[in-house]
């Protein structure tokens, strides 16, 4: 019986995501086995330092990629937002799965339940580990107080419930996948907070040239999601940004037209450059071209200077 090993982080959310991939593959290939091999990444180990200060290139993916290259696993399942836009030689993105809701959510302590983000009083403490979220919320709500928070979703929610924070900003997708929809107080629209590149989708990574495995995972690819995410990833790659740089996106298809919005912000939220482009996108090359054109547009509006200042401050990871 053929065996295809699936690599996953050990976190509860990562395992839920990998088990979904396992179930889908098992459904289509009942005569094969798809055991899950778990491992801990650097991002899982270092929990007392802000993500931006420990670098972001492969923070949650490098160990899985190394296991792939060493033939210890045959597939690595990632949250696509964590997967760097430049992959190690010998690895390819075999599939991008159908996207869960990509936006961010406000999760409040019970004492603030029912209060919109815009109505929270000055000094309210909001936890986030993302510079992207931090910069956008500082831009819109400079009166709020923001504090870093690390750890898996269970850990973060426990800190919230203990009253260490008044609210948290978390991905809707992760909350839904763990069955915690009831914790969502408000879903943040693009006018408040653009989401991370690839957020809500899973990236299924394989070895280049491994035709058997690439054939197995091809059925997991969701065409519309893949085109949206390829445009978003091209935008990020052209800006040389990582997942800890304040870069946000929003993408939407209407017929064959893909509209992509992208923004670059300074860490303090004082500076913001944003642009939107629309193009007919029916293949990967067109999606990539759209993302690259949008990157050129925001650079022309001043994004380059903002990014250079950020790289000097937090490094490139």
Catalytic residue annotation = 82
**Can you say whether the dihedral through the CA atoms of 110, 115, 116, 121 is positive or negative?**
negative
Return the SS3 of 1.
Answer: coil
Query: Hey, what long-range contacts does 292-297 have (CB within 8 A, 24 or more apart)?
Result: 292/234, 292/235, 292/238, 294/235, 294/260, 294/262, 295/234, 295/235, 295/238, 295/239, 295/262, 296/238
- Partners of 39 in the β-ladder: 9
Cα dihedral 296, 300, 303, 305 sign:
positive
Question: Which tokens belong to 147?
Answer: 């504090």
Are 273 and 301 a contacting pair, CB within 8 Å? yes
36-39 vs 6-9, strand pairing mode: parallel
Whole-number Å distance between alpha carbons of 276 and 2: 47
In eight-state DSSP terms, residue 70 is T
Return d(Cα 237, Cα 243) in angstroms, integer: 11
Write the CA distances from 58 to 65, 77, 80, 94, integer angstroms: 9, 13, 11, 18
């Amino acid at each position: 019986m053929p065996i295809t090993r699936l690599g996953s982080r050990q976190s509860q959310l990562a395992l839920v995501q990998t088990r979904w991939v396992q179930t889908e593959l098992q459904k289509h290939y009942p005569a094969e086995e798809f055991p899950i091999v778990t491992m801990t990444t650097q991002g899982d180990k270092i929990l007392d330092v802000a993500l931006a200060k420990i670098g972001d290139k492969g923070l949650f993916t490098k160990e899985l990629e190394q296991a792939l290259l060493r033939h210890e696993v045959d597939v690595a399942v990632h949250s696509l937002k964590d997967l760097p836009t430049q992959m190690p030689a010998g690895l390819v993105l075999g599939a991008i799965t159908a996207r869960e809701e990509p936006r961010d959510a406000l999760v409040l302590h019970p004492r603030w339940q029912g209060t919109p983000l815009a109505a929270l009083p000055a000094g309210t403490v909001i936890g986030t580990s993302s510079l992207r979220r931090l910069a956008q919320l500082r831009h819109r709500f400079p009166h709020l107080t923001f504090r870093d928070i690390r750890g898996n979703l269970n850990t973060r929610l426990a800190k919230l419930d203990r009253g260490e924070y008044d609210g948290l900003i978390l991905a809707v997708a992760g909350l839904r996948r763990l069955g915690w929809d009831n914790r969502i107080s408000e879903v943040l629209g693009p006018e408040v907070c653009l989401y991370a590149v690839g957020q809500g989708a899973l990236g299924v990574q394989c070895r280049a040239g491994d035709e058997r495995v690439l054939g197995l995972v091809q059925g997991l690819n969701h065409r519309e999601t893949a085109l949206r995410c390829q445009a978003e990833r091209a935008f990020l790659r052209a800006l040389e940004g990582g997942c800890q740089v304040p870069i946000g996106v929003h993408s939407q298809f209407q017929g064959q037209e893909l509209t992509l919005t992208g923004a670059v912000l300074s860490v303090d939220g004082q500076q913001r450059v944003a642009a939107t482009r629309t193009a007919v996108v029916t293949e990967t090359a067109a999606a990539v071209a759209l993302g690259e054109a949008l990157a050129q547009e925001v650079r022309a509006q001043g994004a380059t200077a903002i990014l250079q200042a950020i790289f000097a401050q937090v490094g490139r990871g």
